[in-house]
């Protein structure tokens, strides 16, 4: 992709709200919408059935809900989902998830397609949108906002913040969103680390800082050592599905408890209740009691009082989970709460008095909250942008990888090769060899997580090493280097340790989008000719068919001698039928014939491989003689 030079901006791509900030001299500031004066952009995206996109307040305006209309009656209004357009809130919760990882309650809220695929997609009419594409719309809106606020400025290079506990897939999905929005993502920065930059803690001579970041959808705790402008993260922990949203949902479930489930999950009703719950929660930060009133047509009226004490009962299990995560982080940092010199609060949920109280109790000191908890992450992103532009050479940020990285070994055991809380960038080289004689490939399965068994960890990627020349078992030695870059994203390279040759590694991510898919999305976005889902699938099927047919024609020409008469006839008959079908529009027929042809040609392909190996061996022995 095109790389840009010039100013770098800082973006907080939050679950609930997103912001863009920049450095003005030595001072970081959030860029507000010049029309409305708002600095916060709600992370809400509406996609109309015709593909038109609204972001922020405009999207909230068309969210399905119950509203009082001009006729004095309450009506269901907004994009109701599916063919009627969709309004996606908290899209960050779905970043990097595979189709099979979508929770049942989320499936009640939105219509997903491809629930078995490597990436979850929201359905809107005949189209499907990945979480990265939807996040890209938020990024585009922020870009336009900044360009409107700073006439003449071009926003092309950005720092985007992510929860510290985001795994590789979630980070990659965030980077993809940037790419899809036409931005160069110069760096991903962890949100708590960014917040510590915003607080100007480099002025501390030396100190240990705990950053407690409780947002709308995610929770992070990071323990840092700050010394002479070096911000060194000692340990981080968190939960990427734990936030204020969960407290709102608990209130909604209580409010709607008497309704049958089918009505409770009805999108207009649920969304209206969610808005009431969020408002009530916010009000109860300042007052002791509030009232929630929900009118459901035709004649149902729900009215409940909510006290702060009652709210705290709802919040307690979630806050307890954050405190447990704090304990784990301290344990990993080998510190006691009393060793912490400063506690910083970040994220909207830290406005709740109960959160402040519990955090103060845990660390035994009053937390810092002088900066707006909604803005502090964006400000920190701008400071990091300053570091990257070379204007803050005094500062150095050393972050860590939040989750251990390992590979699957014999018996399905996860063998850790990079431990959690290792400073990044980091790299480890592991040697791989073969288990049986003449093995030509070695499969490597990369995992992320803290559990002992591979099946309990998250699959990151799989790749094949090879082809290798047939050799006795254990003889080949391939060094695979696992490098985690400063963004916390894994890169894999391999080298044949005996020949010194670089091996190409075709890493197939277990979740998320492939590079080709992103390129395709970019092309689609450029000509704005968004095909419908069926058409897209047909194109995929045709491409697959064309690829196998082209490969087959080449192999028959080059290695025709390796295929017998009957076999050749059977293959050619199938190929002829596929060629015919590929001109038509029956996607399933094309896919089936492609599969059949693939099966029929497998023995042929294996013979070609054998021949190639033999040839290579002969060539090698000739070289050795000369």
**Interacting residues toward another protein by CB under 8 A:** 5, 8, 186-187, 227-228, 230, 384, 387-390, 393, 396-398, 422-427, 483, 485-486
Handedness of CA 436, 437, 443, 445 (dihedral sign): positive
Residue identified by tokens 């770098």 is: 8
Handedness of CA 38, 39, 44, 45 (dihedral sign): positive
- Closest distance of CB 429 from another protein, Å: 9
- Closest distance of CB 488 from another protein, Å: 12
Task: Using the minimum distance from each CB to another protein, give the nearer residue, 189 or 362.
Answer: 189
Task: Using the minimum distance from each CB to another protein, give the nearer residue, 486 or 570.
Answer: 486
- Closest distance of CB 492 from another protein, Å: 14
- Closest distance of CB 397 from another protein, Å: 7
Task: Using the minimum distance from each CB to another protein, give the nearer residue, 296 or 400.
Answer: 400
- Closest distance of CB 484 from another protein, Å: 8
- Closest distance of CB 315 from another protein, Å: 24
Residue identified by tokens 């700050």 is: 226
**Residue closest to 131 by CA, chosen among 83, 166, 80, 84:** 166
- Closest distance of CB 325 from another protein, Å: 17
CB half-sphere exposure, 479, CA atoms < 13 A: 13
Asked if 467 and 441 count as a contact pair (C-beta separation under 8 A), the reply is: yes
**Residue closest to 133 by CA, chosen among 179, 89, 82, 166:** 179
Task: Using the minimum distance from each CB to another protein, give the nearer residue, 421 or 448.
Answer: 421
Task: Using the minimum distance from each CB to another protein, give the nearer residue, 206 or 279.
Answer: 206
- Closest distance of CB 225 from another protein, Å: 10
Task: Using the minimum distance from each CB to another protein, give the nearer residue, 5 or 301.
Answer: 5
**Residue closest to 378 by CA, chosen among 101, 7, 22:** 22
Task: Using the minimum distance from each CB to another protein, give the nearer residue, 29 or 229.
Answer: 229
- Burial class, 490, CB count within 10 angstroms (exposed 0-12 / middle 13-18 / buried 19+): buried
- Closest distance of CB 322 from another protein, Å: 19
Asked if 92 and 14 count as a contact pair (C-beta separation under 8 A), the reply is: yes
CB half-sphere exposure, 30, CA atoms < 13 A: 24
Task: Using the minimum distance from each CB to another protein, give the nearer residue, 49 or 479.
Answer: 479
Strand order in the sheet with 396-398: 342-346, 206-214, 219-227, 230-239, 396-398
Using CA atoms, how far residue 562 sits from 252, 281, 440, 467, 468, in Å, is 68, 73, 20, 20, 22
Task: Using the minimum distance from each CB to another protein, give the nearer residue, 301 or 393.
Answer: 393
Over the range 370-379, which residues count as b (16 or more CB within 10 Å of their CB) and which as e?
A: ebebbbbbbb
């Amino acid at each position: 992709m095109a790389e840009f030079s010039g100013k770098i901006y800082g973006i907080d791509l939050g679950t609930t709200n997103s912001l863009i900030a920049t450095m003005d001299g030595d001072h970081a500031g959030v860029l507000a919408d010049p029309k409305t004066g708002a600095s916060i952009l709600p992370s809400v995206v509406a996609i109309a059935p015709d593909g038109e996109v609204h972001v922020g307040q405009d999207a909230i305006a068309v969210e399905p809900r119950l509203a009082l209309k001009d006729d004095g009656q309450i009506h269901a209004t907004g994009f109701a989902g599916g063919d009627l357009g969709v309004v996606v809130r908290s899209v960050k919760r779905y970043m990097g998830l595979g189709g099979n990882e979508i929770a049942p309650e989320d499936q009640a809220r939105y219509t997903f397609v491809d629930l078995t695929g490597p990436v979850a997609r929201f359905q809107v009419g005949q189209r499907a949108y990945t979480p990265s594409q939807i996040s890209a719309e938020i990024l585009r809106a922020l870009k336009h906002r900044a360009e409107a606020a700073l006439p003449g400025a071009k926003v092309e290079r950005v720092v985007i913040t992510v929860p510290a506990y985001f795994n590789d897939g979630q980070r990659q999905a965030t980077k993809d969103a940037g790419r899809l929005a036409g931005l160069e993502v110069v760096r991903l920065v962890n949100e708590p680390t960014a917040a510590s930059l915003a607080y100007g803690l480099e002025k501390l001579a030396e100190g240990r800082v705990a950053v407690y970041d409780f947002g709308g959808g995610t929770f992070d705790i990071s323990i840092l050592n700050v010394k002479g402008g070096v911000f060194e993260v000692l340990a981080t922990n968190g939960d990427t599905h734990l936030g204020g949203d969960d407290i709102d949902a608990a209130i909604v479930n209580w409010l709607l408890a008497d309704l049958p489930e089918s009505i409770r999950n009805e999108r207009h009703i649920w969304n209206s209740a969610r808005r009431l719950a969020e408002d009530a929660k916010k009000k109860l930060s300042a007052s002791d009691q509030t009232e929630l009133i929900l009118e459901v047509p035709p004649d149902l009226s729900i009215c409940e009082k909510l006290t702060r004490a009652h709210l705290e009962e709802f919040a307690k299990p979630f806050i307890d989970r954050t405190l447990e995560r704090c304990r784990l982080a301290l344990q990993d940092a080998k510190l006691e709460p009393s060793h912490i010199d400063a506690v910083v609060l970040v994220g909207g949920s830290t406005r709740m008095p109960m959160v402040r109280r519990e955090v103060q109790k845990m660390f035994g000191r009053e937390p810092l909250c002088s900066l707006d908890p909604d803005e502090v992450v964006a400000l920190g992103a701008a400071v990091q942008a300053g570091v990257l532009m070379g204007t803050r050479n005094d500062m150095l940020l050393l972050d860590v990888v939040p989750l251990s990285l390992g590979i699957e070994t014999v018996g399905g055991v996860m063998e850790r090769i990079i431990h959690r809380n290792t400073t990044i960038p980091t790299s480890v080289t592991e040697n791989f060899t073969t288990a049986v004689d003449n093995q030509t490939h070695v499969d490597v399965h990369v995992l992320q997580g803290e559990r002992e068994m591979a099946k309990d960890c998250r699959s990151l990627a799989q790749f094949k090493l090879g082809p290798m020349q047939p050799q006795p078992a254990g003889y080949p030695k391939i060094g695979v280097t696992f490098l985690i870059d400063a963004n916390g994203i894994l890169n894999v390279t391999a080298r044949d340790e005996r020949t010194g040759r670089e091996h190409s590694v075709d890493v197939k991510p277990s979740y998320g989008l492939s590079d080709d898919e992103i390129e395709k999305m970019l092309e689609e976005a450029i000509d704005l000719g968004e095909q419908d889902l069926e058409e897209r699938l047909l194109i995929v099927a045709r491409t697959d068919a064309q690829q196998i047919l082209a490969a087959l024609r080449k192999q028959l020409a080059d290695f025709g001698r390796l295929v017998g008469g009957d076999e050749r006839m059977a293959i050619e008959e199938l190929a002829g039928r596929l060629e015919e079908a590929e001109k038509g529009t029956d996607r399933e027929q094309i896919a089936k014939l492609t599969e059949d042809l693939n099966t029929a040609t497998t023995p042929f392909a294996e013979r070609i491989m054998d021949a190639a190996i033999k040839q290579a061996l002969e060539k090698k022995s000739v070289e050795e003689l000369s």
